[in-house]
Amino acid sequence: MKKTAAAVLISVLFAVLMACGSSDRADSSAAPAFTATSVRFEGPWYSVDLPQVAGGSDDARTDFNEGMRAEVDPFLRNAAEKQQVKGFKSEVAHIGRHVLSGVLGIEVSDGYLHPITFKRTHVTNIDTGKALTLPELFTDVQKGLDVLSAQAAVQIPKTRVGPNSYDKQRIEPTVENFKDWLAMPDGLRVYLGEIASHALGYIDITIPWSELDRTLKPGLRAVVSS
Burial of 152 (0-12, 13-18, 19+ CB in 10 A): buried
Burial of 211 (0-12, 13-18, 19+ CB in 10 A): middle
Cα gap 7→128, rounded to integer Å: 47
Looking at residue 74, what is its pLDDT? 93
Question: Do 134 and 141 meet the contact criterion of CB atoms below 8 Å apart?
Answer: yes
Amino acid (1-letter code) at residue 188 = L
Over residues 27-84, the pLDDT tens digits come to 334 455 999 999 999 998 899 999 999 999 999 999 999 999 999 999 998 887 778 9
Tell me the CB-side half-sphere exposure of residue 183, using CA atoms within 13 A.
27
Looking at residue 176, what is its pLDDT? 96
Q: CA nearest 194: which of 162, 156, 158, 166?
A: 166
Q: 138: which DSSP letter?
A: B
Query: Does the domain spanning 32-132 belong to CATH 3.30.565.40?
Result: yes
Domain ranges within the chain, ordered by starting residue = 32-132, 133-226
Cα gap 48→38, rounded to integer Å: 10
Looking at residue 112, what is its pLDDT? 66
Looking at residue 189, what is its pLDDT? 98
Looking at residue 18, what is its pLDDT? 37
Residue numbers of the chain with a pLDDT score lower than 50: 1-30
CATH topology of domain 133-226: Actin; Chain A, domain 4 (3.90.640)
Looking at residue 111, what is its pLDDT? 66
Burial of 219 (0-12, 13-18, 19+ CB in 10 A): exposed
Cα gap 180→202, rounded to integer Å: 12
Q: How far is CA 8 from CA 17, 37, 222, in A?
A: 14, 49, 42
Looking at residue 115, what is its pLDDT? 83
Specify the 3-state DSSP secondary structure of 88.
Answer: coil
Residues of the chain above pLDDT 90, percent: 69
Looking at residue 80, what is its pLDDT? 78
Cα gap 62→66, rounded to integer Å: 6
